[in-house]
Amino acid sequence: MRVEQESGASFSHCPRCGVASVLGAVDCLRCGLIFAKYKQREDGSMQDASLPRQGIAGASAASIDAPTDRQRGETRSLGAQIIAKVDLILQGAGLRPWVGSKTAAYFTVQERALEIAIQTVVPMVALLLAMVGFVVPLLGPARVFFHEMGHAVIGWLTSRRATPFILWTNVSLHPSVVAGICVAFLLGVMIWAGVRERRYFMPVVAGILLCLQGIFTFVLSTRTYEKLFFFGGIGGEFYLSALVIVAFHYELPQRLYWSVLRFFALPVAMYAFLAASFQWRGILYNPRLAPFGTAMHGREDAGGDLNRLYADFGWSVPYMAKVFLTIALICGGVMLLNYVVSVLRLIWTFEMPDVTEESVASPKESPYLPKMWGAD
C-alpha cells in the first residue's frame, strides 16, 4: 500500500471492500483500488446525476440506472460474470474472501472467526464428500484430469509442446524454443500478478516451476525425460491434487476468482487424491490389480504408462506401488501440516492482544457489513 502526504482522495475505509485504510494512502491494501480514480469516477457520476433529464429514453435510463462501482469495471465474459455473481452471493451470506494473516487485523471479529471456521470445517466436509464420491460417477473424471495434466506439466517443464485431452496427452518429441519461452513467460506473469496483489502463494509455486523448467530443459537427458513423462501421469494424481488442496488456504489473484472456486475445487481434488491412494494401496497387496494398458485400447495396449515403466525402465509392480504410496505419504504429510499451520495462524491472529475493535472497520462505515451482520 502506497502512502502520500498530500492526497486529495483520503478514505478511512476502502469504499469497495470496507478495509480500514491508513489516512493518506493511495490505494487499498486488500483489493488495490486507487482512491483518486475512484473519487474522480464518483464525482463524474454525481455531476451526471445532477443534470436535467432529457427526453431521450436512453439518456433517462442512463441517469436512473447509474452503474455501481463493480459494474463500472472492465467488460467481463459470461463465465466471469456468473462467478462474480456467486462471489457476491457468498459475500452477502458472510463468506467474504480471506485476506491472510497480514491484513486479518483490518476485519471484524466476526469475519475473522468465520474464516477460521471455514478453513477448519470445510476441508473436513470436503473429505467426507470425497469419501461419498466413490459411489458418485460424476467425480470419476477428476482423476483423469489430474492424470493428463500430470503428463502435460512434465512436457511444459521440459519446454515441449503439450496438449492434454480427456484420455490422452499430445506431446512433441523434442524441446521447442518457442514453447520454452511461452511457458517461462506465463510463469513470469503468474509471479508478477501475485506480487502485484501481495498474494505470494502463486509466485512461490511459479518460481519453483520456473527453476524446474530451467533444470529439466538444459540438464535432463532424453531417457530421464521419458521416465518422468510416463511417471508424471499417475504422479500428477497425487502432487497436483495435493497442490490444489493446499492452495485452498491461500490467496490467489482476484482475476482467478479463487475465493469462490476453491469451495468447488477442494472436494474434487480430495477425491482424486484419495482414489489414487486407495487404488495403489490395494495394488501393493494384489499386483494383478495394476492398471496396465490405456483407457482407449484396454490392457493389451503396450503404450500404457505402466507398460512403459515396466518394459523400458524395469519397474516392477510392487516397486511402482511403493514409489506412488511414498509420494502419497509425503503429499499427505504436507497437506496435514499446512492445514494445522494455517488454522493455528488464523487463531493466533484472532487472539493477538494488539488487535482492537478500533482498528477494524465499523459496521456502519463498511458498505458490506450491514448486510452481512445485520448492523443498524
Residue 244 predicted with pLDDT over 70: yes
Low-confidence winner among 285-294, 323-332, 361-370 (lowest mean pLDDT): 361-370
The C-alpha atoms of residue 232 and residue 305 are separated, in whole angstroms, by 9
The phi, psi pair for 125, rounded to 5°, reads -65, -40
Nearest C-alpha neighbor of 312 from the set 235, 234, 232, 226: 226
Q: What is the pLDDT of residues 161-197, one digit of tens each?
A: 988 888 888 888 888 999 999 999 999 999 999 998 8
User: In this predicted model, what pLDDT tens digit does every residue of 286-309 receive, in sequence order?
Assistant: 988 888 887 777 777 777 889 899
Three-state DSSP state, 210: helix
Q: Side-chain half-sphere of 49: how many Cα atoms within 13 Å?
A: 10
Quick check: 97 pLDDT over 60?
no
Q: Taking the CA atoms of the chain, what radius of gyration do you get in angstroms?
A: 25
The residues that bridge with 170 in the sheet, in sequence order, are 163
- Among 126-135, 207-216, 350-359, which stretch is predicted with the lowest mean pLDDT? 350-359
Given a cut of 70, whether residue 69 has pLDDT beyond it is no
Lowest mean pLDDT among 133-142, 148-157, 239-248, 325-334: 133-142
The CB density around residue 69, as the number of other CB atoms within 10 Å, is 14
Nearest to 312 by CA among 375, 222, 236: 222
The pLDDT assigned to 374 comes to 35
C-alpha triplet 165, 169, 170: angle, nearest 5°: 110
pLDDT at 356: 43
Query: Model confidence at 35, in pLDDT bands (50, 70, 90)?
Result: confident
Supply 213's cell numbers: 523448467
**CB distance 374 to 143 below 8 Å:** no
At residue 373, does pLDDT exceed 80? no
Residue 125: what pLDDT? 87
Q: Kindly give, in sequence order, each residue whose CB lies less than 8 Å from that of residue 159, ignoring residues fewer than 6 positions away.
A: 175, 176, 177, 179, 180, 183, 213, 216, 217
Q: Chain-wide mean pLDDT for the chain?
A: 75
CA 71, distance to chain mean position in Å, is 24
Measure the CA–CA gap between 262 and 247, rounded to whole angstroms.
8
